[in-house]
Amino acid sequence: MSLELVLITGMSGSGKSVALHALEDAGYYCVDNLPPELLMQFIALQHEQRSERVAIAMDVRSGVSLPLVPQQLETLRRDGVSLRSLFLDSTTDALVRRYSETRRRHPLSRQESRNDAPETQRVLMQAIELERELLAELRDGADVIDTSIIRPAQLQSYVKLLISAPQSALTLVFESFAFKRGVPLDADYVFDVRMLPNPHYVPALRALTGRDEPVIDWLRQHDDVARMYGDIENFLSRWLDALARDHRSYVTVAIGCTGGQHRSVFLVEQLARGFGTRWAALKRHRELDGV
């Protein structure tokens, strides 16, 4: 059996330790902050010990050795290692807020003044943007999870969901969200469905979601909803084969409405069901999961 490796990278303060704990709970042998210089030797040791599932967290603390990682990952793939790469991201505002709340210093910031001082905030934002630049190549080759407004329990569920997906040429992640809470950073494609008829204005449907039969039946009565589904389906059907040929592992399709309760949830459910007959298809409901 080939070794299964999950690499977790991402922005400092984005929840990498939470994700690593989720993998530990799932039976992975986990190592935090492994220096890239030791990656190949570590994997060789795991082969010798006949390990099956390993998870490694790497981040900007590895400094100048980070550029080694993409080539190392390509070598591991050629050697038969089953590799999944997850990148945790958050908005700059969310990261600044977390650092302010925890009174921690960013690993790229040497500022020693108070966390809530204006100069400290400025230096912190500069450090975060520098970190984005340093991690850009790792982000491009990974499945991205936006942790800006999700709870730790949601993040743990998302990580376990992704690693449980079959290793196929392409995994589709359909995600519903509310525009009023921001567009997910992890989206490859975003579709705005706020112009569709809204069950929120039907008193009997307001407290329900797009997974409930009364809402499903109501939305199916509207031609615009069917046309929107058809347009999204046609777009994805046209381009998914090309994405698979480009060696993409994951594609996240985000569907947004005003509150993330009805229309976007309905379409995500339908799209995941429709595309699940050919591709591995996962679902996320940002405003519902973990509620």
- Annotated binding residues for GTP, written as ranges, equal 59-62
Task: Lay out the sheet containing 250-257: strands in order across.
Answer: 189-192, 250-257, 171-178, 280-285
* Residues contributing to the annotated binding site: 10-17, 59-62
Whether the Cβ atoms of residue 276 and residue 166 lie closer than 8 Å to each other: no
Q: Name the one residue in this structure whose structure tokens are 């790229």.
A: 108
Task: Lay out the sheet containing 143-146: strands in order across.
Answer: 29-32, 53-57, 4-10, 82-89, 143-146
* Residues contributing to the annotated binding site for ATP: 10-17
Q: Supply the DSSP symbol for 260.
A: S
Handedness of CA 160, 175, 209, 261 (dihedral sign): positive
Query: For 86, phi and psi rounded to 5 degrees?
Result: -115, 135
DSSP string, 77-99: HHTT-EEEEEEEE--HHHHHHHH
Q: Supply the DSSP symbol for 113.
A: S
Query: For 54, phi and psi rounded to 5 degrees?
Result: -135, 140
